Structure formats: C-alpha cells, structure tokens
Structure 1
Amino acid sequence: MDPDVVNVTWRAMREYFPHRGLAYHVHALPEHGIVYVKNPKAACSTVLLWMDRLHTGDYDFSPENVHTDNRLPKVAEVGRRRIARMLSGEGYSFTFVRDPLRRFQSAYLDKIVNSDRWRGQIQVALGQDPDPERPVSLDEFVAGVERQDPIGEMDPHWRPQHINVMTDLISYDHIGRIETFEDDLETIRKATGLPEVPVEVRNRAKGDAVADTFTDRPDLEERVRAIYARDFEIFGY
C-alpha cells in the first residue's frame, strides 16, 4: 500500500464514533505489524482471541468475554499516531465483514430478542418511552433502525459496516468475510508471516434462528436491503 494514498488521523476516525470510544474498535500489534478494525457482528470475538494468542503465546487463554478481558496492547501503550500511521500504510490493516442480511438478523436476535440492554434505543427511535421489559418485534426493529442516523444514532452492532470500518478513510490490505473466515485468516497470516496459532471460533451462526423470517417477509427484506445498500455495493454481497 502507498502511504501517500491514505492519510488516516485519529481525529478523522473519531468522526465515525462520536458517542463511543474509538480505542474499543481498533487493535494494533506493532511487533507483528498488523492492525485490526473491529466490525461488530462479524467474527470480532474470534479475531480478538486469535490476536491475543499471537501477542501472548498463550494458546489456552479463552475468557468468557474477550472484548473486555483480552491482553492486547491498549491504544495508550501503542500510541494514537503510531496506529494512524499503521492504518495509513506502515502496517498491514485488515477487517472482516458479513452478509448484511445475516448480520442484521444476528443483531436482532442477539441484541434485541435475547437482551434488554439495547431495546430502549429502538423504542426511542420509534417515539416510544424506553421500556427494556417490553419486547421489540422485528417489524419495530426494522422501522427503528430506518429512523436512526447511521453515525450519530445507530449502534455499531447494526450500523452499516462500511461506516464501522471507515472505508472512505482507510484503504485496507485485506477485507475478509466471515463466510470464508478460515481462508481469509490464512491469507492474512501468510501475507504478514505470522506464526500459526489455534483459532477458536466463537458465537457462530446466532443469526440462523431468524434466518427464515425474511423468506415470508419480502417487504422487510427489501427495506433492510435499502438500509445496507452501500454495504452490498462495497463488499460485493
């Protein structure tokens, strides 16, 4: 990659995460020359654990929540400017994406059906009083997401992926897909000369439980496709 083509700064990246810590979404291993930008609901847990094992050499490490309990270097340790330079071409940058429909379904099941933490966001978007005890239907979820501003209001778990991974700002060395995860991870490993470490796949196929919903609701599928039209275009789904 030509570092003159992309000029990534921490301030520019912060524009994509006005209400959430950017440090939570970018992880760099300078000793290995790699930098990863998280895209929620697209194999984040699996990639973070793989990177932790790369960094520590502890292949038995398997915390319940690798997002909070990993031992990866903090942004403050690596330095914002160094990470920005790595994303501008000094490092090997990568991320992972997912079929937008499957990702949307997974977000609904995991964050709305099986959790009450995020329901209030959708209810507020619909003009309702937030009540985490009240279920949110798939129709309501679609309608609520449609009304949210992608950058300022959408949660990263269902926000368009091209915004999460900042494709207008970052020119990646590799954008993998979770549908071909093993092959893509091997491509990254070989390109960077990384050692082989055990990969523990986490949270697989949570979206399958609602995968048939759109089969009987082409109207909802069409609306969801419209929300993520840019993702379909950029990532070729």
Structure 2
Amino acid sequence: MTVPSSPESDPLAALVARKGAMWRTYAAVDARVLFVQVNKNACTSLKWMMAAIAGEDLAGFGPSLGASARDADDIHDRRQWHVSPRLDEMDPELRAQIHPDNGWFVFAVTRDPRARLFSAWQSKLLLDNPGYTSYRKEDWYPRHPVSTESVVEDFATFVDLFVREPHHRIRGDGHFRDQVELLHEDVVTYTHIYDVGDLGRLQVDLRNHLDRVGWTGELTLPRMNDTPLRANGLAFGNGIEEQVRKIYAADFERFGDRWDLATIDNVPLWTAAELTEVDHQASMGRRIGYLRNQALAFRDEAVAQRRLANRQRARADRLRRKLDARPTTAVAPPGSLRRTMDRLGRRARRWLRRS
C-alpha cells in the first residue's frame, strides 16, 4: 500500500495544485537539477539549456497550436518534453529527494520588475502575440503603427490599468504576476536564486555541479531576444516608475537591492529601425494568430464530428444486434429494420471518413 506523502516529507507536492506551478518546473533527474521558471526572465534560453541537460531530443520540439510566433518558442510546449518528468508524474520518493542537502542544484532567476513588465507588455501585447488576441478590442491595447510617443503612452496606459484594476484578469497571467508568487519559496529550497545579470555566474555554478555528479555534456545557454525594444528611462518617466514600484512592491521588498534604475536610464532611445521591426513582428503575430484561431476552430469541429460519428456507429451497432436477434427474411421490405440499419451504417462510415 502506498503511504500518502506529507508536506513535511514531500514539500514539492504542494506545487502540483498551485496555479501553473506544475508546468513551470523542469527537472533533469540524472543530473539532479531542478529549474523553477519565472516568466520573462530568460526562460526560453534556460529551458533549452535544461532540455539538453535532461537528455531531451532537441530536434523533437516542433510547431504546435500553442501561442508562439518563433521556432524557439516550441520549447514552451511542456507536452513535448518526454524525458523531464512533471512533478505530478514523478515518483513521490524521488520528488521528496529534490533538495540542495541531497545533492540537487535547485535554481531560479529574477529580473528587475520594471524591465520585466515592459518586456512582457511588449512581447505579449505590442507584438500581437497569437495567444492574446482576446484583448485586442480593449481600450488599453497598444496601437499600430508605433512611434516613440505611442509606445510610451500605451505602456503608461497599461501600467495605469494595473493601478486601477489590481485584480484584472491579465494581472494573473504568469508573465505579469509577482515573481515572489512564482518562486514558491515556502516549499522550494533553492541552491541559489540568480538574477538575469548573473547568468554567467549561474553557468559556472551549474557546470561545477554537473562535474560533481558526472554529467559530461556540453552546457550551452543560447542567447535569445524576443523583443526589439529595450526598456529605457523614457518609458518610466512621468511617475510610471513609481507606479510600477507599488504594483510590484512584494518583489522590490524581497529582491530590491539587486536592481538599480540607473541601468534602465542608461539604455539608449529606440531607433527608427527598432520601431519598424516592432510593426513587422506585430504584423506576423496578427497573421499567425488568425491562422491559429482557424486551426483551433477546425480542430474543435473535427472533435465534434468524430463524436457524432461515434454516436452514429454505436446506434448502427445497436440496430445490427437487434436485427441479428430476429429471424431473417429473404427480402427486406421497404422501410425494414435491415434497410434502416444499412443506411445508418453507411452514414456512420461517411462521418468517420470525414473526421
């Protein structure tokens, strides 16, 4: 008999029930590495690195109906990970062992909330990400074509949305949630929580760990940038910086000593070429979103048709069983049970071919 694990003996079991947490944890069991993803914090690069450590077939990640616009985004489809187990699929005894004291390297990455918010807003809304089409009719959705002025104004409008409606639906999206919520430090014991500016240190520490456990593969952290515009001081003027500090007060309280606004202030203004690239990527995002919505609709229709075909086939089978139980006749008169059954059988076969 399997004895249920307790929070004390298996604290990571708590993540299974927490919103999205199960899908944001990546374990390389043989290498004893656990990565807890925080959205928009170099997570695409870190997932590709983790996939290699876990022994996934990197060429096996392909296009899906997920909300992605780039080949690199295929890594976000957790269903395409076949070696790295989800926490709910993991043996409780193994899951209970995931702790630095047991030789595991457990890590996550943080980011300045100002840069993170601007990046998430740009990636998901300004670039018309295919997964965010439902927001396009909102009055706070960014405009196109873009200009420096429109980007600053529309970002300010979005920040104001969080001030006015702190419980707005999009605030609960992982890309816009507080980082302290996504880290789950109450149940996850970390070897170290790095910042995006410390990725070089992360690679050194991780390489040392992998050497100790005998993992001899190549450790590669690909550089990927999915947004043309870097957060700069212009985007945080006129009180926007102070508003963001209030919105993400929990993050600043926990990690605020890591971040300096001067780093953002020193980023150059956006060039005409960068603004043009925003419009180019947004047009692709809109087109991909349209095609994705069509594909999802076709998929739903195919599922509905297959269910209908299955019901027709089941009805035909029931009629056939009734017919087989009756005495046979030489000629089936018009409107007979056999003719009805044959007609339903043909109809069911047509449904099956279409589906």
Equivalent residue, structure 1, for 2:342: none
Structure 2 residue aligned with 1:181: 199
Q: Distance in 1 between matches of 2:123 and 2:228?
A: 8
What is the number of residues matched between the two proteins? 220
- What is aligned with 1:92? 105
- Within the candidate set 118, 125, 130, 2:132 is matched to 118
Aligned residue number for residue 127 of structure 1? none
The aligned counterpart of 2:158 is 141
Q: Supply the distance in 1 between the matched residues of 2:248 and 2:9 (Cα, whole angstroms).
A: 25
Q: Give the counterpart of 1:67 among 70, 76, 95.
A: 76
Q: 1:133 to 1:72 in 2, by over 3 A?
A: farther
Q: Is the 8 A contact 1:34 1:93 kept in 2?
A: yes
Structure 2 unaligned spans of 5+? 1-6, 63-70, 143-153, 259-355
The change in CA–CA distance for 1:152 and 1:104 in structure 2 (over 3 A counts) is closer
Change (3 A) 1:16 1:145: farther
| Alpha-carbon distance in structure 1 between the residues aligned to 2:192 and 2:49 | 16
1:80-126: CA deviation from partner (whole Å, max 9, x where unpaired) = 66335415854321111111111011011101111253375xx6xxx
How far apart, in 1, do the equivalents of 2:168 and 2:94 lie? 28
Bigger radius of gyration: 2
Residues 80 and 212 of structure 1, relative CA distance in 2, 3 Å threshold = farther
Partner of 2:53: 54
**Matches of 2:197 and 2:25, distance apart in 1:** 22
Which residue matches 1:155?
173
Q: Distance in 1 between matches of 2:207 and 2:169?
A: 32
Alignment equivalent of 1:13, drawn from 11, 15, 21: 15
Of 166-175 and 99-108, deviating more is 166-175
**RMSD over equivalenced CA pairs, Å:** 3.4
Which stretch shows the higher mean deviation, 111-120 or 23-32?
111-120
Q: Is the 8 A contact 2:38 2:182 kept in 1?
A: yes
Structure 1: gaps spanning 5 or more residues: 124-129
Q: Which residue of 2 aligns with 1:83?
A: 95
What is the 5 A alignment of 1:194-205?
A: 194-195=215-216, 196-203=218-225
CA–CA distance in 1 between the matches of 2:127 and 2:9?
A: 40
SS of 1:28's equivalent in the other structure is strand
Counterparts of 1:8 and 1:150 in 2: how far apart (Å)? 30
Letter in 2 for 1:13: L
Q: Matched residues in 1 for 2:99 and 2:228: separation?
A: 31
TM-score between the two structures when normalised by the length of structure 2: 0.53
CA distance in structure 1 between the aligned counterparts of 2:12 and 2:236, rounded to whole angstroms: 43
Structure 2 partner of 1:38: 37
Matched, 1:224 2:244: yes
The structure in which a higher percent of residues are helix is 2
Choose between structure 1 and 2 for higher RCO, CA contacts under 8 A separated by at least 6 residues. 1
